[in-house]
Amino acid sequence: MDNKEPRFCYNSEDYEQDFFSYGSDFPIYDAKNAENATEENLINSYRCYMAAHNARDQFILIGRFQNITYRLAGIDKRGRADVVGPSIGELEFFNFQGSPEEVFGLDVPCCSSHNGAWSYKTNDSFILGAIHGGLPFYLASPRTRYYLACEKRVITTYTRELVGLLHFGYKIEDHGILGEVMICKDYSKAKSATLKEYNEILTNYSKHYLEQLLAL
């Protein structure tokens, strides 16, 4: 992306409108207060959006996680995948997570928050923040069926992220020793990306997306 082009960024009001533009009934995890879970999740998701948009090193690292325990928004969380091979482990996590107030570039948003209210909208918000910023995404895991699909779900969260990037103007490039990186090639698509559209393309997900990722 041309760094001279102004980067688009939601203000809190526009973000909230997009957040509630679809699906008001969705699972929220680790909320401090069940009655205020949606409000907590809105606040936490916007913080994740802003943290990714302003990532300190101006890049994002995404991939499958190993089974590690990490600190997320004041909550001890556990990596959910028994992944063998190239993935995000403790070394990568502590190299890229940043402090509780900032994100260096890891796809787990360690932004300042006193609650852990988390939903799929939170993860999408983190990716959207970096997309609006036109930031590059380095791939910690290969694009093979082992990393992109799983038995319990049709696709992994990693696949969900890659599908969104391809849809919103990103292309895959080979950066040699650094491996593959997703680069923003169409910023007009990136800056117009929304949570609502992100959800729509994933709701209409088909095996075509998976095969496309495997073939690139």
Q: Quick check: 7 pLDDT over 80?
A: yes
Q: What whole-number distance in Å separates Cα of residue 30 and Cα of residue 193?
A: 28
Q: What whole-number distance in Å separates Cα of residue 110 and Cα of residue 96?
A: 10
Q: What whole-number distance in Å separates Cα of residue 195 and Cα of residue 39?
A: 17
Give the pLDDT confidence score for residue 103 in this predicted structure.
40
Q: What whole-number distance in Å separates Cα of residue 127 and Cα of residue 162?
A: 10
Identify the CA nearest to 51 among candidates 82, 76, 72, 65.
72
Q: What whole-number distance in Å separates Cα of residue 134 and Cα of residue 157?
A: 20
Q: Quick check: 40 pLDDT over 50?
A: yes
Reported as a pLDDT band with limits 50, 70 and 90, residue 107 is: very low
Instruction: Tell if the pTM clears 0.85, that is, is over it.
Output: no
Give the pLDDT confidence score for residue 111 in this predicted structure.
38
Q: In the predicted model, what is the mean pLDDT of residues 112-119?
A: 58
CA end-to-end span of the chain, whole Å?
20
**Mean pLDDT, the chain, integer:** 77
Q: Quick check: 212 pLDDT over 50?
A: yes
Reported as a pLDDT band with limits 50, 70 and 90, residue 91 is: low
Of 26 and 21, the structure prediction assigns the larger pLDDT to 21
